Amino acid sequence: MNILEQQDPAIWQAIENEAERQRDGLEMIASENYTSRAVMEAAGSVLTNKYAEGYPGRRYYGGCEFADVVERLAIQRATDLFGAEAANVQPHSGSQANTAVYLTVLEPGDKVLGLDLAQGGHLTHGMKLNISGKLYDFHSYGVDREHHRLDFDQIAKLARELKPKMIVAGASAYPREIPHDKFAEIANEVGAKLMVDMAHYAGLVAAKIHNNPVPVADYVTTTTHKTLRGPRSGLILCKQDDLKDINRSVFPGIQGGPLMHIVAAKAVCFAEAASPDFRAYGQQVVDNAKVLAETLIAGGLTLVSGGTDNHLCLVDVTAFGIGGKLAEAALEKCGITVNMNMIPFDTRKPMDPSGIRIGTPALTTRGMKVEQMRTIGNWIIQALKSHDDETALASIRGQVSELCQGFPVPADATAPSAT
């Protein structure tokens, strides 16, 4: 019996159950992944005990010499990985990273242009209940009706009319590569700062598959736990000249002490993401998503934009006479975890939209390849068609479990032997 099990059996049991859920199901939420054991070890380390307000060499607490080593390594690895001049590795999350950039660049009431939440944007890109929408005057751009691609004519027109102080690029549910240079051109023309939130596809940028926003953007933010496969956290990349202001916005602007155990886990993740193995993983994520897309289309489903060139598919399920809520529930019964999602120009409500979002990063980390994607794509078709047939769903559930057994999760990996 381990210490947690003895001391707090309720929490231990919940964690055990979650481990089993992650092992025995197909995790296809596009923003989730499995970290390595090394990342988990750093995240579960004694650094959680340490207060380190401030920055390396300038802390408000004693005893920070090892925290400094960790944070300096994290900064160096982040800037090397993405070719950035400077980095702040302290944001606790993607939302914190975005909020810190806003605090740096904007005054309350300033105009900002960001992607519409209903067309793939994120809450922190101006949603009314989010601090971004409460403090700043966000306006939305979207995708075109026919091809569901970012509508750069509309973006340029809005930018010229509104003269925003900042343009925010990046998305939570956009299945295509984002041409950052087009955003930079528009931002330059109207004198706006450009922030790229690459949270979803940072891993593909690190793997050199998606174009890198760092050379053309003023600020790049990201989460570290999606395609990048690190701990749940955030990161800001910026120019050296802007670092002082960014640092001030993160601490003391919106945060207190950094989570040093998570900063350490980010450092581990950045080193992993610089490896040739990670590059192969990134390519496989995209290859898998493409084959999944082809399989879903062949099975009669419609994909937003007609396919994908990144890690996710946005699927309109209404052709099968159901909405996203029912689709999510039917797949859950099969052990396939996805999330319901609005599709562009959706006529249904956010709590029961027309679509589901399906991602391949986590399954790719488990070692699954295009062959498994074909199988899974066909299960998804079957499950959605038989959403009210409990026997059919149970049969798929059994096959899902069988498949999962052949692809262990990193948490179950044993350390390589020393011999």
Q: Between 65-82 and 260-273, two packed helices, what is the crossing angle to 10 degrees?
A: 30
**Shortest Cβ 155–ligand PLP spacing (Å):** 17
Q: Which of 23, 26, 27, 31 touches ligand PLP by CB under 6 A?
A: 31
Asked if 170 interacts with ligand PLP (CB under 6 A), we say yes
What residue spans of 197-239 are helical by DSSP H?
202-206
Q: Whose CA is closest to 195, among 114, 93, 84, 310?
A: 114
Bridge partners (DSSP) listed for residue 313: 358
Stretch that binds ligand PLP, among 7-15, 54-62, 93-101, 267-275 (CB under 6 A): 93-101
What residue spans of 274-405 are helical by DSSP H?
276-298, 324-333, 361-365, 370-385, 390-405
Q: Are 338 and 262 in contact (CB under 8 A)?
A: no
The catalytic site residues sit at 51, 53, 197, 223, 226, 232
Q: Smaller CB distance to ligand PLP: residue 22 or 95?
A: 95
**Shortest Cβ 97–ligand PLP spacing (Å):** 7
Per-residue burial over 117-126, b if 16 or more Cβ lie within 10 Å, else e, is bbbbbbbbbb
**Shortest Cβ 413–ligand PLP spacing (Å):** 25
What residue spans of 196-355 are helical by DSSP H?
202-206, 240-248, 260-273, 276-298, 324-333
221-280 binders of ligand PLP (CB under 6 A): 223, 234
Stretch that binds ligand PLP, among 164-172, 238-246, 365-373, 394-402 (CB under 6 A): 164-172
Asked if 88 interacts with ligand PLP (CB under 6 A), we say no
CA distance 238 to 217: 8
Q: Smaller CB distance to ligand PLP: residue 120 or 377?
A: 120
Q: Between 94-105 and 240-248, two packed helices, what is the crossing angle to 10 degrees?
A: 110
Q: Which residue has the tokens 């879903």?
A: 296
Q: Are 195 and 125 in contact (CB under 8 A)?
A: no
Q: Which of 95, 130, 249, 318 touches ligand PLP by CB under 6 A?
A: 95
225 annotated as a binding-site residue: no
129 annotated as a binding-site residue: no
Asked if 196 interacts with ligand PLP (CB under 6 A), we say no
**Shortest Cβ 95–ligand PLP spacing (Å):** 3
Cβ-proximal residues to 226 (8 Å cutoff; 6+ apart), any chain: 30, 31, 32, 33, 199, 200, 202, 203, 361
Asked if 132 interacts with ligand PLP (CB under 6 A), we say no
Asked if 359 interacts with ligand PLP (CB under 6 A), we say no
Q: Which of 88, 172, 212, 249 touches ligand PLP by CB under 6 A?
A: 172
81 annotated as a binding-site residue: no
Which residues are documented as binding site? 117, 121-123
Kindly list the residues in this chain that would bind ligand PLP in the complex (CB under 6 A): 31, 93-95, 98, 122, 124, 170-172, 197, 199-200, 223, 234
